[in-house]
Structure 1
Amino acid sequence: MSDAPSPRDKTPEDPPQAPLIEHLIELRSRLMRAVVAVLVIFLGLYAFSNDIYTFVADPLMALLPEGSQMIATEVASPFLAPFKLTLVVAVFVAVPFVLHQLWAFIAPGLYENEKVLAVPLLVSSVLLFYGGAAFAYYAVFPLLFDFFVHTGPENVAVMTDINQYLNFVLKLFFAFGVAFEIPIATFLMIWTGATTVESLSRKRPYIILGCFVVGMLMTPPDVISQSLLAVPMWLLYEIGILFGRIVRRRRQQEEEDAD
Structure 2
Amino acid sequence: MTSASYWVELFESQQRLGGGFLLTRRYVLTALHCLRDISSFDAQVEVALTDGSRLVGQVCRRDRDADLALITLSAAYEVKLPIPRAGVAQGGDDWYGPYRPAAAEVHLRGRVDDGAIEYLCEGGALIQALQLTVNQLLGDYSGYSGGPVVKESPGDHAPVVVGILLEQAPDRAAANRAANVLFAATIGEAMRRFDQFDVEHLMDVVHPTSGLSKGNGAGHEPTVDAAATTAEAWFDRIDQWSQRQVLDPSQVAELKFMAAKAAIERQVHGHDA
| TM bucket, shorter chain | 0.3 to 0.5
Output the TM-score relative to the length of structure 2: 0.31
Higher relative helix content:
1
Which structure would you say has the larger RCO, counting Cα contacts within 8 Å and 6 or more residues apart? 1
Which is higher, the Rg of structure 1 or of structure 2? 1
TM-score with structure 1 length normalisation?
A: 0.33
By percentage of residues, which structure has more strand?
Answer: 2
